[in-house]
Amino acid sequence: MSYSQRVYSELNTDDAEAISVYLDTRLKLIWEFYPWPDLVRVEKRYYRPLYDAALTYDAGYEVYYPTEEKYYQALKQTQGNAPTALTHWAEAKQTYSPSDWVTGTAYAVGDTVEYPPDGLYYACHTAHTAGANLASNWGQLVEFDKYVAWAQTGENEISDVLNVWNTNPRADIKAKQQNFYQSENGVQVINGPNIVHVEYRQKVPSLLHSAWTSGVDYKTADVVRFDPSGADFDLYKASSDHEASALNKPLESGAAWTLIQLPRDFRSFLAHGAAADLLLADEREQLGGVQNSLGDQALRELLDKLERQEKQTKQLNVITR
């Protein structure tokens, strides 16, 4: 607070809220400014969940089956039937080119057709002789959409995608970059392998918070400060919906809170930047400009430390054949 010529104990509620907003804005700026090593992850990802024999799958659900290293889609509700069982599953493909449905033809399990009345594809899961219409012996085939969802159960949430690889580039010098684009579903991989490694920046945390209060209902991703009062505190994000009590406060073991941690090297930029914003809001332009300059200098020094001193500049991946 000394940068903005304020005393913490003398801050009012509006000042505290403003500082929180300024810090949040500055954090987003520096977080996305550069692929900081602290914030970048490379993780192995599948396009769909792994098959689990204990789960019940509805028709149309897609899974990855490690035994065969392929993706499959359920033709009807199924539980405990391996994806290789054509009576319940079909291999998920990006394109299909079956023959047209022919009335009166005897179809076996595993046969596929294109049904002219609706132009859709179907796989036979129960052998029969075809009538004039599709019966309950068929399950619809949907063209497989190769994407890694932004949020996958049990995985870290993906924010900014930097690259997609066929293997882990941190362990394999011959890892190849894959063509991809981003959609509302996630990271779309064009004609890529069945398993990819996604290089991405972690999601920027929110610094907008309230004081933790016992008895309050908190929702997932709510942010609180703890201790609730005083100049020294940490920020925590709720990992699930819950009602706060003395038994589940942030410091308790197993509590539904995750400590928000920031790279320590960001400290100088954030402090000077937030001070500049506060001074400018007070119409103290000259002092605010000085703090802005100091924040820019802190950022330059951090980049210099990484790229020149620590030689962390990313090299192009060149493969010799």
Q: Are residues 213 and 290 in the same domain?
A: yes
Pick from 103, 144, 104: nearest CA to 121: 144
Pair 220, 183 in one domain: no
Domain boundary among 99, 115, 141: 141
Two structure tokens written together for 247: 């038994």
Confidence class of residue 319 from pLDDT cuts 50, 70 and 90?
Answer: very low
Euclidean distance between CA atoms 75 and 108, whole angstroms: 15
pLDDT in tens, 189-205: 999 999 999 999 999 99
Same domain, residue pair 301 and 210? yes
Confidence class for position 320, pLDDT limits 50, 70, 90:
very low
In the chain, what is the straight-line distance between the N-terminal and C-terminal CA atoms, in Å? 57
Q: What is the mean pLDDT of residues 111-120?
A: 95
**How far from chain centre, in Å, is Cα 94?**
24
Q: How far apart, in Å, are the Cα atoms of 31 and each of 20, 36, 163, 200?
A: 16, 8, 17, 12
167 and 250 together in one domain:
no
Q: What is the pLDDT of residue 313?
A: 66
CATH number at residue 61: 2.10.10.20
Given a cut of 60, is residue 270 above it in pLDDT?
Answer: yes
Question: Which amino acid belongs to residue 319?
Answer: I
Same domain, 210 and 305: yes
Domain final position from 163, 180, 202? 202
Is 316 domain-assigned? no
Beta partners for 70? 65
**301 and 241: one domain?**
yes
- For the chain, the average pLDDT equals 92
Which of 74-83, 143-152, 209-218, 305-314 shows the lowest per-residue confidence on average (mean pLDDT)?
305-314
Which secondary-structure segment (H or E) carries 16?
helix 13-31
* Burial bucket for residue 35 (CB in 10 Å: 0-12, 13-18, 19+): middle
Range of the domain at 281: 2-36+205-309
CB-CB contact of 74 with 89 (8 Å): yes
**What total of structural domains would you count in the chain?**
3
Residues 285, 260 share a domain: yes
pLDDT band at 188 (very low <50, low <70, confident <90, very high): very high
| Residues 126 and 64 occupy one common structural domain | yes
Report if residue 319 sits inside a domain. Answer: no
Phi, psi of 185 (to 5 degrees): -85, -35
**What's the pLDDT score for residue 275?**
93
Beta strands in 95-221, from DSSP E residues, in sequence order: 99-100, 106-107, 112-115, 120-124, 128-129, 138-141, 147-149, 158-165, 180-182, 186-189, 195-202, 210-211, 217-218
